[in-house]
Amino acid sequence: MILTVLHKTCYEFATPVGGIIQSLRLTPARCEGQKIIDWSVDVPGAVMGALFRDGAGDYIQTVSLRNLTSTIEVTVSGTVETQDTAGVLRGYRERVPPRAYMRNTPRTEPNRAIRELFEDTLAGMETASALDRAHALASAVHKALPYIPGATHAHTTAAEAMNEGAGVCQDHTHVLIACAHLADLPARYVSGYLNATEDGTPHEASHAWAEVFIEGLGWVGFDASNETCPNEHYIRLGSGLDAQDAAPIRGLVLGGAEETMDVSVVIEAQQQ
């Protein structure tokens, strides 16, 4: 499948700020499931640092605006050829050992509700394979947290989402990571794009899912929001311990000011 991406993020400040430094994880890496045909990241007026690959295999680029400004706009555009690998991340270069992703953060720390979900789901599955247990956990998270936009916010933790009983892809991913860790399975947060849900409904937003490390198979993606594994409709951008760690844009503003952010993401499939 050929997917085109147009992703615009605009920050506006109530008063001019003295400068901005951002770390961008907005360039997909090549792997068996995705081939980059063309890709660009543009930040008008900014000094663009060199693109480099970190130990986790993700491409990072630093940008900075060193003068007074009231706005900053980041535009990502590109074309990617994708294929379905049944969720398995193949041909991806990284140096970080999988066990490094056993550490919880405040966003993925399990509470009693998450521990009960984990225990109830895997009861009687002691002899099941790690892959089957991971699938069972992803399905359980999907059922436990109905997808309700606006039910949570950007800083909601896995525990808080479980208490709310609803969430979005970020919450599903955090809860699944927490459950995987309880099952002694390394798991990480993945940010990227999704062209459409399985029923073909347009999906005009960035997306998130989890990857769980399965011995003998490698990293396998699980999208608990859609109860599926990533396929040719997905573009993988980067990963981390949680949503903050894997954020496509992280930054520092020089000089405090009230900030508003507007995001537009359009993913389209081209005929081959």
**d(C-alpha 212, C-alpha 215), whole Å:** 10
pTM equals 0.94
Residue type, position 209, single letter:
W
Phi, psi of 152 (to 5 degrees): -130, 180
pLDDT digits (tens, 9 = 90+) for 242-268: 999 999 999 998 876 788 999 999 998
Q: Which domains does the chain have, with CATH numbers?
A: 2-82+249-270 (2.60.40.2250), 98-240 (3.10.620.30)
pLDDT at 20 over 60: yes
Burial class of residue 19, CB neighbours in 10 A (0-12, 13-18, 19+): middle
**d(C-alpha 189, C-alpha 170), whole Å:** 9
CB 209 within 8 A of CB 181: no
Residue 255's pLDDT is 79
pLDDT digits (tens, 9 = 90+) for 119-149: 999 999 999 999 999 999 999 999 999 999 9
Confidence class for position 189, pLDDT limits 50, 70, 90: very high
Q: Which of 139, 134, 145, 196 is nearest to 172 (CA)?
A: 145
Residue 206's pLDDT is 87
Mean pLDDT of all residues in 11-39 = 94
